Structure 1
Amino acid sequence: MIVVLAAIVPRVWLGREPARLFDGDRATQDALAREVIAYAERDVDEGAFHTGSALFDGEWAFGTHQMTLLALGQIVLEHPELRDAYVPAMRRAADRLVDAGTLRFAASRWGEDPIAALDGDHGHAYLGYAALALGMLRAVDPETPHAALHDRIEAALARRLARAPHALIETYPGESYPPDVLAVAGSLGLHQRVTGADHRALLDAWSRTFRARWIDASGYLVQAGDARTGEARDAPRGSGTAIGAYFASFVDRDMARTLDEGLARRGHATFLGFGGVREGAEGDIDSGPVLLGVGVSATGFALASARIHGDRDRYVELARTAWLFGVPVDREGGGRRFVAGGPLGNALLLAMLTARAS
């Protein structure tokens, strides 16, 4: 009996809050959002992270602001009555997202400021992350002062994508990542919806090439490729597939479904009601730790796709694992924070937990 209870009680208890989040419960979402807002009010920069790499510290600060905008915007779209409470933090995150100090990590790789170089031909694919976040801001705050910059970034990304023979542009010199390019395409899809701009011809042509070249027969997404030759430079990975499925939902529902099916068919693993996603390769800074083949990042990222495609059971199984290792605790004032997450982890998890069909 003790063994049976030990197997059942944690599964039931750790599934209660995720089930409410899947259902869009406002109070449960808001408790997590309050802590993400608290981080936004501190103006997180690379000094908040200690990865041992200035590049990764900068990327993580950039990602914190991006995921803050996506998470809070998704909640506002689901609960419009929270707009006035959330938009000030979103505006603050947007200011930080496009600040030259935040973008210093990328400028150091390219030798040029990415905003000043928008008329140039270098890829700067990571700008897709910023553009997607600014699109989410415009969806709930059409009067944002960043609207003109958002349009300029999207115009530059569209031009670069149109000139990419293998549907890839570079993130950094000599480095191209299909998940990053899905963020670029996803940003254009969202830009089209919130502004009325017409990117359909470009995105249709891009999607056909991208699907044929960068989605493996397993349904997993190739992690890295050569933008010039179209050759793969890394194996398909669960983490890239999971975050890519989320980005794809903004631009190509069929592609998002294909990637989700790969995650469910090849990637999903479960034990006693706790779910995970197989990485398919050794761990690195992007995948996080890989334990018995299951990747930490892949598991967290896959929450978004499960919710977007209405897979409640898979979502709750994945979230149980996130709760077990993330250690959520109540905070003063009604907030709720994942102790193991930090600024990026809390913003990213909230974005994945609240993802919605576009």
Structure 2
Amino acid sequence: MRLRRLAAVFVSLCALTGMIRLVVPATAGVTGEPIGVRRQLAFLRAALDDGAGQDAQGLYPEGYFFLHALYGLTWVELGLRGPAGERATAVREARLAWRQLDSPQGRAPFSEGLSPPFGVFYQGWSNWLLGGVLSLQPAGQRDRGELDRFAAGSAALGRAFDASASPYLTAYPGQAWPVDSTVAMASLRLHDTLLPPAFTGTVQRWLSGVRQRLDPRTGLLPHRVDPATGEPAEVARGTSQSVIQRFLGDIDPAFAREQYLRFRDQFVVRPLGLGPAVREYPDGVDGPADVDSGPLPLGVSLSATVVTIGAAQVNHDAPLSAALANYGELAGLPLDTPWTRRYAFGLLPVGDAFLAWSKTARPWVAATPSPPPAGISWWWRLPLLSVLVFVGTVPWLPALLRRRRAHRPG
């Protein structure tokens, strides 16, 4: 009897915890600091020190690079939210991450013979992180060597875009994905806010070329393109769109609003009528999973769902970013200690890195846009709350029935 009662208490506490995670805010908009992100970064720093970057490299080609890049970018995001006098830790950690990208191990998967050298994926993300490090420092106190590297990296990207017949540069020999060029173009916009403007024409030509080569089915940037012409070779997909929507607002806010609403209409769904999630393929289209999307239960990509938290937040879509984050708090099984926080028991640190980066998203170049029309209401939580109430109550029903029978007259 005692074991049965302990089991009932445990189940009810789990259900109550789930209910709390569904309703307590898990994001903080573009100004506050999300609860738990610093403890996530503490977990990630320890994991990186223990070789998590090398482990991630064994999972997919950019694992080492991405884990360090996202760690550094999250520190930039946190630093930008706080007073300038309290940014020393953010500068130190973001700079440390950038130096890992700027190392032989960080460059190992990429080809130096591309234009720009090592490809647009490597140069775009590296340049964006280095620009973030500079953004954390007062204008008169920025490191001269870092300024020169940022200017040189931006110039290399600008030359490559200006010389290309396609708006989409190659990341690997003979392969081009629009998401990579979107990140690189955002870094050129960041350059023109930190240093004398030099890439206005490059940005405008890029936008013109992009508008001429949208995916005909969705009206969005395609997932993959012909590297020579930039013509769509694959329909828009959630894993790349979630990142594109994070960066596009810093390039052209009006175009970004149009693209974001298209993305939300065609990719954000509620499988089984429960919490919001993001499909890997547009609604009505099915396709295979890959290393980027992960498994696709009911067509949903968990990685795209996590990254869309940041895309929604940058686009000032607070209802969607909050809903996705709360659903993640329920499904992600966060494990807390006084010093760290990890999700899914910390088995995949790169997942924690994407989540921390997404929860701290904010525009770096453009002003925060006006909110779009709401696409989801608070009441999406009601079915899940009902399920949790039921789960938390069921273990006590036998005891309640026994008690009722014991007090029945006769």
Kept in 2, the 8 Å contact 1:270–1:317? The answer is: no
| 1:258 correspondence with 2:258 | yes
Q: What does residue 63 of structure 1 align with?
A: 66
Percent same amino acid at aligned positions? 24
Find 1:317's aligned residue among 316, 320, 323: 323
The one-letter amino acid paired with 1:356 is R
| 1:76 correspondence with 2:79 | yes
The one-letter amino acid paired with 1:71 is T
Q: What does residue 299 of structure 1 align with?
A: 305
How many angstroms apart in 1 are the aligned matches of 2:270 and 2:312? Answer: 14
CA, structure 1 residues 82+342, in 2 after alignment: closer, same or farther (shift >3 Å)? farther
Q: What does residue 96 of structure 1 align with?
A: 100
Q: What does residue 162 of structure 2 align with?
A: 162
Q: What does residue 404 of structure 2 align with?
A: none
CA, structure 1 residues 265+27, in 2 after alignment: closer, same or farther (shift >3 Å)? closer
Q: What does residue 3 of structure 1 align with?
A: none
The one-letter amino acid paired with 2:332 is G
Q: What does residue 358 of structure 2 align with?
A: 352
Shift of 1:25: 3.4
Kept in 1, the 8 Å contact 2:121–2:171? The answer is: yes
Kept in 2, the 8 Å contact 1:70–1:136? The answer is: yes
How many angstroms apart in 2 are the aligned matches of 1:18 and 1:171? Answer: 34
Q: What does residue 134 of structure 2 align with?
A: 138
How many angstroms apart in 1 are the aligned matches of 2:89 and 2:349? Answer: 19
Q: What does residue 42 of structure 2 align with?
A: 34
| 1:192 correspondence with 2:188 | no
CA, structure 1 residues 241+48, in 2 after alignment: closer, same or farther (shift >3 Å)? closer
How many angstroms apart in 2 are the aligned matches of 1:113 and 1:7? Answer: 55
Kept in 1, the 8 Å contact 2:73–2:357? The answer is: yes
How far does the alpha carbon of each residue in 1:50-78 deviate from its partner, in whole angstroms, 9 at most, with x for none? Answer: 32xxxx2x411101111122211111111
How many angstroms apart in 1 are the aligned matches of 2:26 and 2:219? Answer: 26
CA, structure 1 residues 65+113, in 2 after alignment: closer, same or farther (shift >3 Å)? farther
Q: What does residue 16 of structure 1 align with?
A: 24
How many angstroms apart in 1 are the aligned matches of 2:335 and 2:107? Answer: 32
Across the aligned residues of Structure 1 and Structure 2, the Cα RMSD in angstroms comes to 2.8
How many angstroms apart in 1 are the aligned matches of 2:353 and 2:91? Answer: 15
Q: 1:220 is paired with a residue of what secondary structure?
A: coil
Kept in 1, the 8 Å contact 2:267–2:279? The answer is: yes
Find 1:328's aligned residue among 334, 349, 364: 334
Q: What does residue 279 of structure 1 align with?
A: 280
Kept in 2, the 8 Å contact 1:124–1:170? The answer is: yes
Which consecutive aligned stretches of 4+ in structure 1 deviate over 6 angstroms post-superposition? Answer: 6-9
The one-letter amino acid paired with 1:62 is F
Q: 1:126 is paired with a residue of what secondary structure?
A: helix
How many angstroms apart in 2 are the aligned matches of 1:7 and 1:42? Answer: 34
The one-letter amino acid paired with 2:277 is G
CA, structure 1 residues 307+172, in 2 after alignment: closer, same or farther (shift >3 Å)? same
How many angstroms apart in 2 are the aligned matches of 1:286 and 1:49? Answer: 13
CA, structure 1 residues 22+248, in 2 after alignment: closer, same or farther (shift >3 Å)? closer
Instruction: After superposing the two structures, state which structure 1 stretch, 273-282 or 298-307, moved more.
Output: 273-282
CA, structure 1 residues 330+159, in 2 after alignment: closer, same or farther (shift >3 Å)? same
Kept in 1, the 8 Å contact 2:215–2:235? The answer is: no
CA, structure 1 residues 9+124, in 2 after alignment: closer, same or farther (shift >3 Å)? closer
Q: 1:233 is paired with a residue of what secondary structure?
A: strand
CA, structure 1 residues 219+327, in 2 after alignment: closer, same or farther (shift >3 Å)? farther
Shift of 1:340: 4.6
Kept in 2, the 8 Å contact 1:40–1:89? The answer is: no
How many angstroms apart in 2 are the aligned matches of 1:40 and 1:146? Answer: 23
Q: 1:222 is paired with a residue of what secondary structure?
A: coil
How far does the alpha carbon of each residue in 1:158-180 deviate from its partner, in whole angstroms, 9 at most, with x for none? Answer: 11111222211111111000111
How many angstroms apart in 2 are the aligned matches of 1:11 and 1:263? Answer: 29
Using structure 2 for the length normalisation, give the TM-score: 0.75
Q: How many residues align?
A: 340
How many angstroms apart in 2 are the aligned matches of 1:99 and 1:216? Answer: 40
Kept in 1, the 8 Å contact 2:119–2:170? The answer is: yes
**Contiguous gaps of at least 5 residues in structure 1:** 1-5
How many angstroms apart in 1 are the aligned matches of 2:56 and 2:238? Answer: 27
The one-letter amino acid paired with 1:299 is T
The one-letter amino acid paired with 1:74 is E
Shift of 1:144: 6.9
Instruction: After superposing the two structures, state which structure 1 stretch, 135-144 or 17-26, moved more.
Output: 17-26
Shift of 1:94: 1.1
Shift of 1:248: 1.4
